[in-house]
């Protein structure tokens, strides 16, 4: 098991054990988790400094996991509906990662390795799946599905 997987697992276990809205801040980094509905699970892990992460879920049985390693990264995951899953991983500096899903049974997986990358995934409807991997510097990707 990698260190990132370990962080994800621990963060997810804590989120499942404490299904309430929470905010955490340390070393200039910020994590905010808000959940409404039932059966939702969220986890966040950060190393580095001045990273921002926001996870928001409304509905039932949604899962969001985000990890950031580096500095000045920004990740936002918002999900509304049922049984949506999102995973956002960022390694490097100055990256922006955003996932928005509305509907049911959608999945999104984004990974960034490098600096100054940006990815946005927007999925509306049911049963959509998206995946994006960026390696290097200054990459931009946008995925929109309806």
**Cα–Cα distance, 44 to 88 (Å, whole number):** 10
**By the 8 A CB rule, do 114 and 93 touch?**
no
Question: How many other CB atoms are found less than 10 A from the CB of residue 71?
Answer: 19
The edge-to-edge listing of strands for the beta sheet with 140-145 is: 22-26, 29-38, 52-60, 74-82, 96-104, 118-126, 140-145
Please list the pLDDT of the chain residue by residue as tens digits (146 residues).
Answer: 455 554 444 444 444 444 444 455 556 788 889 999 999 999 999 999 999 999 999 999 999 999 999 999 999 999 999 999 999 999 999 999 999 999 999 999 999 999 999 999 999 999 999 999 999 999 999 999 99
**Residue showing tokens 């921002």:** 52
């Amino acid at each position: 098991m990698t260190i990132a997987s370990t962080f994800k697992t621990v963060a997810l276990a804590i989120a499942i054990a404490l299904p309430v809205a929470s905010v955490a801040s340390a070393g200039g980094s910020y994590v905010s988790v808000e959940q409404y509905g039932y059966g939702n699970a969220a986890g966040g892990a950060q190393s580095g400094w001045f990273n921002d992460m926001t996870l928001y879920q409304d509905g039932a049985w949604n899962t969001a996991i985000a990890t950031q390693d580096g500095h000045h990264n920004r990740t936002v995951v918002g999900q509304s509906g049922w049984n949506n899953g999102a995973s956002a991983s960022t390694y490097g500096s100055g990256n922006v990662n955003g996932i928005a899903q509305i509907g049911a049974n959608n999945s999104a997986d984004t990974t960034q390795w490098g600096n100054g990358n940006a990815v946005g995934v927007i999925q509306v409807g049911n049963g959509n799946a998206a995946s994006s991997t960026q390696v290097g510097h200054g990459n931009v990707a946008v995925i929109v599905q309806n």
